[in-house]
Amino acid sequence: MSFLMVILLALLLLCFFSFLLRWSVVRYNKKGLPPGTMGWPIFGETTEFLKQGPNFMKNQRARYGSFFKSHILGCPTIVCMDPEINRYILMNEAKGLVPGYPKSMLDILGKCNIAAVHGSTHKYMRGALLSLINPTMMRNHLLPTIDVFMRTYLNDWDDRIINIQDKSKEMAFLSALKQIASIDSGLLCDSFMPEFFKLVLGTLSLPIDFPGTNYRRGIQARKNIVSILSQLIEERRSCQQPHQDMLSCLLGSDDIKYKLTDQEIIDLIITIIYSGYETVSTTSMMAVKYLHDHPLVLQELKREQFSVKERKKPEDPIDWNDLKSMRFTRAVIFETSRLATIVNGVLRKTTKDMELNGFLVPKGWRIYVYTREINYDPFLYADPLSFNPWRWLDKNMESHSNFFIFGGGTRQCPGKELGIAEISTFLHYFVTRYRWEEVGGDKLTKFPRVEAPNGLHIRVSSY
């Protein structure tokens, strides 16, 4: 009897699972959709995608071509690995190809966050941001602030074992805070930093609003950050002392071109810290890693940085001309971003049914503009797996149409030069003051994010 029950149960389970799979096939079997598989209902192919990482993408491309459908991270998704179509997608937001970032990210970053707004609102918010970080602002205000910050931040690293992953994260956060509101270490910073780290984790979590989830903590962290920033804005308004920072520009007199509401100012500040945080910190950490592993590159970088140092007095800050002269350092930053692939791609979604590459893409589907593989294309980058910054000096690679490290089209990274300035200044003070070696034994993972799960420890000593 119990044997029969087991058989019956097994049959029922079999029917149930084949129904689920069938449901998926039927549900997404609209005529004209691109080829591909959708996996299980709700979960789709997320587990395979996260487990196999870039290999999942490569295998699907081998079976279905560079434009295929899948169901990942909770959404029916088109993955596009074709550079031409990717460029078209990034250039054509007005045709209904808007940012498609996950709900948790949008909830936590706020409804005026740049990734959440489209059309004229996006133009306005982007204009406001660019007015803070344009070349004149960079030259006159941001670069001097970055210089003061980096030379102080890199004090006292001598004769210590440092977790460069933690340090570069802290560095990216504190540097942004100083540029935004002249905040140095202190009480405000001590309360802001842990909230910001919770906010970041929340944006990368599933939107499950339950006590103890990263999402709930992220939402709470946002509330705390909004309250800190509102208080800061109030204080600034009642204070007579002039400040030279982004917040003072945003709160400036009534005749400024971009007048934002307090909520927009707060969301823009969160956008600036958030967008530069992981990109700048991970690129800095990986640059330290690659420089350690490639002595000839380090030698060339040091030659460049010492020649900057030698033509200045010790108290002279890194200025615009110094930055422009750091051609090899810039190349090291690009090569690091390429080889480590700090950004795998960007997300868009459709606001209406549309035809792309001869296929139907239904309204509300996500498009993963997956640019990772371009970084390893041997036609673009000879011997693509080698760390070779010199390749960026040879041709004008930076303006190549398939260069997607900073995105492309209407949402191309507005913080590119600011990010490069921060990393270059960090590298300047790091390599001209210290030598270092890895302690060893630390692991690095490259997907879905580049990180050292237990930190990346280096032993630092001064010259």
Q: Binding of ligand HEM at residue 374 (CB under 6 A)? A: no
CB of 355 to ligand HEM, least distance (A): 22
CB atoms within 10 A of CB 28: 18
Beta bridge partners of 36: 69
CB of 275 to ligand HEM, least distance (A): 3
Cite the DSSP H helix spans in 95-206: 103-109, 119-133, 135-137, 143-153, 164-181, 187-203
C-beta of residue 117 within 8 angstroms of C-beta of residue 123: no
- For residue 163, give the 3-state DSSP assignment: strand
413 is in an annotated binding site: yes
Give me the least distance between CB of 100 and ligand HEM, in Å please: 9
With the CA atoms of 37, 38, 39 and 45 taken in that order, what torsion angle do they form, in degrees rounded to the nearest 10?
Answer: 100
**Residue 54 C-beta: closest distance to ligand HEM, Å:** 17
Of residues 38 and 332, the one with the C-beta less far from ligand HEM? 332
Q: 267 with 113: CB under 8 angstroms?
A: yes
413 binds ligand HEM per the rule CB under 6 A: yes
Bridging pattern class, strands 354-356 and 359-361: antiparallel
Q: In this chain, which of 173, 203, 407, 430 binds ligand HEM, going by CB under 6 A?
A: 407
What lies within 8 Å, CB to CB, of 343 at 6+ separation is 279, 337, 371, 405, 407
- Residue 343 or residue 361: which is nearer to ligand HEM going by CB? 343
Tokens coding 272 = 């600036």
- Per CB under 6 A, does 343 bind ligand HEM? yes
Which residues does residue 69 pair with via DSSP β-bridges, in sequence order? 36, 78
- Does residue 126 touch ligand HEM according to CB under 6 A? yes
* 112 near ligand HEM, rule: CB under 6 A: no
Q: Does 249 bind ligand HEM (CB under 6 A)?
A: no
131 neighbors 249 (Cβ within 8 angstroms): yes
Residue 283 in the binding site for ligand HEM (CB under 6 A): yes
Among 298, 323, 346, 458, which residue interacts with ligand HEM (rule: CB under 6 A)? Answer: 346
Amino acid type, 58:
K
Spatial separation of the C-alpha atoms in residues 390 and 335, rounded to whole Å: 9
CA dist 64 and 7 (Å) reads 38
Asked if 419 is part of the footprint of ligand HEM (rule: CB under 6 A), the reply reads yes
Q: Checking DSSP bridges between strand 67-72 and strand 75-80, what pairing results, if any?
A: antiparallel
Least gap, CB of 249 to ligand HEM (angstroms):
13
From CA 346, how far away is CA 75, in angstroms rounded? 15
Q: Helix (H, G, I), strand (E, B), or coil: what is residue 346?
A: strand
Instruction: Kindly state whether residue 28 participates in binding ligand HEM, applying the rule CB under 6 A.
Output: no
Q: Does 226 bind ligand HEM (CB under 6 A)?
A: no
The distance in angstroms from the start CA to the end CA of the chain is 81
Q: Of 213-221, 341-349, 357-365, 378-386, which part binds ligand HEM (CB under 6 A)?
A: 341-349
Check binding of 86 to ligand HEM (CB under 6 A).
no
Q: Where does this chain touch ligand HEM (CB under 6 A) — which range of 6-14, 22-30, 208-216, 404-412? A: 404-412
Binding mask 127-146 for ligand HEM (x = CB under 6 A): --x---x-------------
456 binds ligand HEM (CB under 6 A): no
Read off the DSSP letter of residue 142: I
Q: Give me the least distance between CB of 342 and ligand HEM, in Å please.
A: 5
Which of 411, 425, 436, 456 contacts ligand HEM by CB under 6 A? 411
Which residue, 33 or 427, is less far from ligand HEM as judged by CB?
427
Q: Which is nearer to ligand HEM, 205 or 279 (CB)?
A: 279
Q: Is 110 in the site for ligand HEM (CB under 6 A)?
A: no
Structural contact between residues 269 and 247, judged by C-beta atoms closer than 8 angstroms: yes
- Of the candidate residues 163, 275, 329, 425, the single one contacting ligand HEM (CB under 6 A): 275
Burial class (CB in 10 A: 0-12, 13-18, 19+), 79: buried
Residue nearest to ligand HEM (CB): 415
Is residue 347 left, alpha or beta, with left meaning phi > 0 and alpha meaning psi from -120 to 50?
beta
- 3-class secondary-structure state, position 414: coil
- Contact between 376 and 385 (Cβ < 8 Å): yes
Tell me how far, at minimum, the Cβ of 114 lies from ligand HEM, in Å.
4
- The residue range among 62-70, 103-111, 186-194, 340-348 that interacts with ligand HEM, by the rule CB under 6 A, is 340-348
Binding site for ligand HEM (CB under 6 A): 99, 114-115, 126, 129, 133, 271-272, 275-276, 279-280, 283, 337, 342-343, 346, 405-407, 411, 413-415, 418-419
Binding residue positions: 413
